[in-house]
Chain A
Amino acid sequence: MSYLVSKVLYRLHHRPEDLAAFTADRIAYLERYPLSEELRRAFQDDDVAALYRSGTNPYLLRAHCIGVGIPEKVSLAALRSAARAHG
């Protein structure tokens, strides 16, 4: 599943039409991929901790956070919460 998450992240930030479709209607865009419900929600809700836990490549996740405008403080807090959740 981490490969698929990586693939979605890669496409979003290298195909302008994909990012436009995602921005316009996240739910419809994500239907293109056989994502689990949890990961679909993670993309919909900018759940950085869940995307991190998926095991995706960190550079793709980092680019996504900047690319969709998730505030730095929000993404940092989410990443740190992922550590706490897993001890």
Chain B
Amino acid sequence: MAKVAGVFAASHTPVMLNFADAIPARERDAVFVAFKDLGRRITACAPDVLVVVSDDHLHNFFLDNFPAVCIGAAESYPTPVEHWLKAEHRTLPGHAGFAAHLLNEALNGEFDPSFSMELTLDHGILTPLELAGVARGTPIVPLLINCVQPPMPSMRRCLQWGRLLYAAIASFAGADRIAVLATGGLSHDLATPRMGLLNDAFDVEFIRLLGERDDDAVASYASAHVHEAGNGAEEVRTWLVARGAAQGGPLEVIFHKGIADWYTGICIAQWNEVLS
């Protein structure tokens, strides 16, 4: 059966690719170096499959039919879907076998995801992979959580999804090593009058609680305070999935800085120990 080879999380924003020069070169380079470090760490854990927990920013899904949770079950994924994203067009390999297993485990476990066998992935998945230098090679399984249009899955449910993901990895016979990368957040507001304002206090406390053993504390904090951290902060749901997959192990912060001119609290982190 497979083991959880590594659990990671990283912020994403298309600004990193489209308007990277909106911040001083030294600050930008520090972020990019941290993403390279993330890439080395992902590569070092030698995953056969990389589950990327992210959100679809209304590209594959629209308000006529919007899934709370969707598992990508394709053999490959063209990207990017945004005609305006400054990124190389590439096709990422998928791992339909683990996707099918996760889907079955979810439904048998009384979770109710949708699935898609055709997704064109957006910056949420592409940007961290691109900057980390791992946007080719390892087959991915996208796990897309609605973080963009209320109502959204609860913070507690996202933790539960992570624990389900851990169990699905542990019961999968088709690979040896499966890593998890969550992308999104942290505090940011987009297309509102608050755009460019961050909430460092929220980010710091959320990161601290992510590495603590108390599931209830981090879920309660996120539920109660996400509204103070901007509409984009709703993406911390993906981090909670990752935390759930790490079974509440300790968190190493690789990089954290609120970058107002990128409109986003940028954090990159790894759960160094996956509890069993």
Question: Are B149's CB and A72's CB within 8 A?
Answer: no
Question: Are A59's CB and B195's CB within 8 A?
Answer: no
User: Which of chain B's residues 1-50 have a Cβ closer than 8 Å to chain A?
Assistant: 14, 18-19, 22
Is there a chain A Cβ closer than 8 Å to B62's Cβ? yes
10 contacts between A and B (CB under 8 A): A10-B58, A57-B148, A58-B231, A59-B58, A59-B191, A60-B58, A62-B191, A67-B82, A83-B194, A84-B193
User: Which of chain A's residues 36-87 have a Cβ closer than 8 Å to chain B?
Assistant: 52, 57-63, 65-67, 72, 76, 79-80, 82-84
In the bound assembly, the distance between CA atoms of A83 and B189 in angstroms comes to 14
Question: Are A66's CB and B149's CB within 8 A?
Answer: no
User: Which of chain B's residues 163-204 have a Cβ closer than 8 Å to chain A?
Assistant: 190-196
Question: Are A52's CB and B84's CB within 8 A?
Answer: no
In the bound assembly, the distance between CA atoms of A19 and B82 in angstroms comes to 13
Residues of B within 8 A of A34 (CB): none
Question: Are B22's CB and A72's CB within 8 A?
Answer: yes
In the assembled complex, how far is the CB of residue A53 from the closest CB belonging to chain B, in whole angstroms? 10
In the bound assembly, the distance between CA atoms of A62 and B19 in angstroms comes to 14
The size class of the interface chain A forms with chain B is 20 to 34
Candidates B62, B82, B191; contact of A65 at CB < 8 Å = B191
In the bound assembly, the distance between CA atoms of A19 and B148 in angstroms comes to 23
In the bound assembly, the distance between CA atoms of A14 and B63 in angstroms comes to 14
Per the CB 8 Å criterion, the residue count for chain B at the interface is 23
With both beta carbons as reference points, the residue of chain A lying nearest to B150 in the complex is identified as A57
Question: Are A79's CB and B58's CB within 8 A?
Answer: no
Residues of B within 8 A of A13 (CB): 82-84
Question: Are A66's CB and B84's CB within 8 A?
Answer: yes
In the bound assembly, the distance between CA atoms of A66 and B62 in angstroms comes to 19
Is there a chain A Cβ closer than 8 Å to B89's Cβ? no
Candidates B63, B81, B84, B193; contact of A80 at CB < 8 Å = B193
Residues of B within 8 A of A59 (CB): 57-58, 148-149, 190-191
In the bound assembly, the distance between CA atoms of A72 and B263 in angstroms comes to 11
With both beta carbons as reference points, the residue of chain A lying nearest to B14 in the complex is identified as A66
Question: Are A19's CB and B83's CB within 8 A?
Answer: yes
Known pairs A57-B58, A66-B18 / 12 extra A-B pairs, C-beta < 8 Å: A3-B63, A10-B58, A13-B84, A14-B59, A16-B83, A52-B193, A60-B58, A66-B14, A67-B84, A72-B19, A79-B192, A82-B193
In the assembled complex, how far is the CB of residue B136 from the closest CB belonging to chain A, in whole angstroms? 25
Question: Are A52's CB and B192's CB within 8 A?
Answer: yes
* 6 smallest beta-carbon distances between A and B, as pairs: A83-B193, A58-B191, A62-B191, A61-B191, A67-B84, A59-B57
In the bound assembly, the distance between CA atoms of A19 and B149 in angstroms comes to 24
Residues of B within 8 A of A66 (CB): 14, 18, 84
Residues of B within 8 A of A80 (CB): 193
Residues of B within 8 A of A3 (CB): 63
Question: Are A10's CB and B193's CB within 8 A?
Answer: no
In the bound assembly, the distance between CA atoms of A82 and B193 in angstroms comes to 7
Residues of B within 8 A of A60 (CB): 58
Question: Are B195's CB and A76's CB within 8 A?
Answer: yes
